[in-house]
């Protein structure tokens, strides 16, 4: 099979916000306890944070992490997680039917975020709580001193404010499963009032209103239209969530689900444009895709366990073990975010450690990287700059999810300074190579600096505690530059490629 693509220096999409390569930590399962935090572990620092996990997080160059939920946040009292640890209450978490010890709260998360070299994105409880609790949370985190909540923070050992710049206005409040579920009109009004109050405090803060929990909700897309109709002039982002799986055990159909993500973004982008026009507004609301990942391997079994267990503390939950197939699919999702970087400015892989995560740990044991870690790492490190509009043509296939699905999935980013280009490409075919030719227009002195590939015969191959490097990126081969200045070569079936080119503008 043959595929062609054209990359022109003048055909750009948008700058890629680095926060599109973010992640998420929720108080559920072992994401926090024995995930990032495990006092007594041989790799733990004096504050109980696992240094082995921190090393892997820093290697992701993680720009932002959303915290503390998720479904958890809709019945969460942030005050339970501050002050002396021995005075913090143990609470029942209704979302996951577990006990929350509150040994980690916002101050500990702020400490961890500094060590991880990441920005905090805090979510507030707009399910069981409301405006006053939210603004108290803001005052505790961001006000310098001289008020009740800011002085209380100083009393707890944090004189300097955390200065959190971006705030999530609740979580999935369109979902009937959510504690404090609301109608779109109820939520839109509340989100607008909270966002206004936050900007009375500091007009430079950014706020994220809840969009749909997924694009299969009966209320979608009317939810987005109603919420934005009420809150468009005060919020900065509308959030979207979506999880994917290969329950059908049909690889090509699974890979095509990246097109579902694309359609979701395009549809909500159209709603944003409609509301902007309706209100004659000059503001641009963007998309914050703050929950996305593969989640299906043990989803049914986990649901049954949650329903039956008796409020355990930090149990193993949603600990998906990912394979090569999942890594190739995640690479395509990241390509969508790059190609839609004009709309999507923040995205958070859910989650970061143990719970549907790129990093797994054993309690009192090692940490290791899952297959999906690597496409996220490569995109985070090399996907920042200006997204280029790649015009591609080649063979396609039809499946249940979509028709005319291209076997070649490709994105490209021109780095700051215009001296290098990152190309991310997936060959979705499970049995045929792609002969690829990429014309590079407006560039000269092109050189291949790096070619990394993830591929293998066994799509079910995984990284485990006993075989941690079964599926890892390797040096690629078979690509070259033609006399005409095109990048050409063969992409093996079921493979993901990162190609770094050094260039100069012609």
Give the pairing type, strands 2-8 and 391-393. Answer: antiparallel
Residue 55 among the catalytic residues:
no
Structure tokens belonging to residue 480: 């070259």
**Which residue has tokens 């009937």?**
176
Give one DSSP letter per residue of 175-231, joined into a string: -TTSTT---HHHHHHHHHHHHHHHHHH-TT-EEEEE--S-TTSTTTTHHHHHHHHHH
Structure tokens belonging to residue 28: 């559920």
Please name which of 343, 346, 333, 437 lies closest in space to residue 376, comparing C-alpha atoms: 333
d(CA 198, CA 34): 34
Of the candidates 26, 79, 108, 172, the residue annotated as catalytic is 172
d(CA 132, CA 139): 11
**List of residues 6+ apart from 51 with CB closer than 8 A:** 43, 44, 45
| Pair 261, 440: CB distance under 8 Å | no
Structure tokens belonging to residue 129: 């709580």
Beta bridge partners of 64: 119
Residue 172 among the catalytic residues:
yes
**Strand, coil or helix: 356:** coil
Burial (CB count within 10 angstroms: exposed 0-12, middle 13-18, buried 19+), residue 365: middle
Of the candidates 291, 319, 320, 325, the residue annotated as catalytic is 291
- Active site residues per annotation: 172, 291
């Amino acid at each position: 099979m043959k595929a062609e693509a054209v990359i022109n220096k003048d055909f750009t999409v948008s700058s890629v916000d680095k926060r599109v390569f973010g992640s998420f930590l929720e108080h559920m399962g072992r994401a926090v306890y024995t995930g990032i935090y495990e006092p007594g572990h041989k790799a733990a620092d004096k504050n109980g944070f696992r240094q082995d996990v921190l090393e892997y997080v820093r290697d992701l160059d993680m720009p932002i992490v959303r915290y503390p939920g998720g479904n958890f946040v809709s019945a969460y009292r942030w005050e339970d997680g501050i002050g002396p640890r021995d005075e913090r209450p143990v609470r029942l978490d209704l979302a996951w039917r577990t006990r929350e010890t509150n040994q980690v709260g916002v101050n500990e998360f702020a400490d961890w975020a500094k060590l991880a070299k990441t920005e905090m994105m805090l979510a507030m409880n707009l399910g069981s709580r409301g405006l006053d609790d939210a603004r108290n949370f803001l005052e505790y985190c961001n006000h310098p001193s001289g008020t009740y909540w800011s002085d209380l923070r100083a009393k707890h050992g944090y004189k300097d404010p955390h200065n959190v710049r971006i705030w999530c206005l609740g979580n999935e409040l369109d979902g009937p499963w959510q504690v404090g579920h609301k109608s779109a009109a109820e939520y839109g009004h509340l989100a607008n009032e909270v966002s206004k109050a936050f900007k009375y405090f500091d007009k430079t803060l950014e706020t994220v209103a809840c969009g749909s929990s997924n694009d299969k909700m009966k209320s979608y897309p009317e939810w987005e239209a109603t919420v934005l109709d009420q809150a468009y002039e005060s919020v900065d982002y509308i959030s979207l969530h979506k999880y994917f799986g290969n329950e059908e055990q049909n690889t090509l159909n699974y890979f095509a689900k990246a097109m579902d993500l694309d359609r979701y973004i395009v549809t909500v982008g159209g709603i944003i444009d409609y509301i902007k026009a309706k209100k004659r507004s000059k503001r641009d609301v963007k998309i914050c895709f703050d929950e996305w990942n593969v989640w299906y391997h043990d989803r049914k079994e986990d649901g049954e366990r949650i329903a039956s267990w008796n409020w355990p503390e930090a149990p193993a939950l949603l600990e998906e073990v990912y394979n090569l197939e999942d890594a190739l699919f995640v690479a395509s999702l990241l390509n969508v975010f790059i190609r839609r970087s004009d709309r999507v400015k923040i995205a958070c892989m859910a989650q970061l450690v143990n719970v549907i995560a790129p990093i797994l740990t054993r309690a009192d044991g090692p940490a290791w990287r899952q297959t999906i870690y690597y496409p996220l790492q490569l995109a985070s490190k090399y996907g920042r700059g200006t997204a280029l509009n790649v015009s591609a043509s080649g063979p396609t296939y039809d499946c249940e999810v979509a028709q005319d699905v291209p076997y070649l999935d490709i994105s490209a980013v021109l780095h700051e300074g215009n001296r290098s280009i990152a190309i991310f490409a997936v060959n979705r075919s499970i049995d045929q190579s792609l002969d690829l030719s990429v014309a590079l227009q407006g560039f000269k002195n092109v050189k291949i600096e790096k070619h990394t590939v993830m591929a293998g015969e066994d799509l079910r191959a995984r990284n485990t505690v006993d075989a941690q490097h079964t599926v890892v990126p390797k040096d690629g081969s078979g690509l070259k530059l033609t006399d005409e200045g095109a990048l050409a070569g063969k992409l093996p079936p079921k493979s993901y490629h990162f190609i770094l080119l050094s260039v100069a503008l012609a």
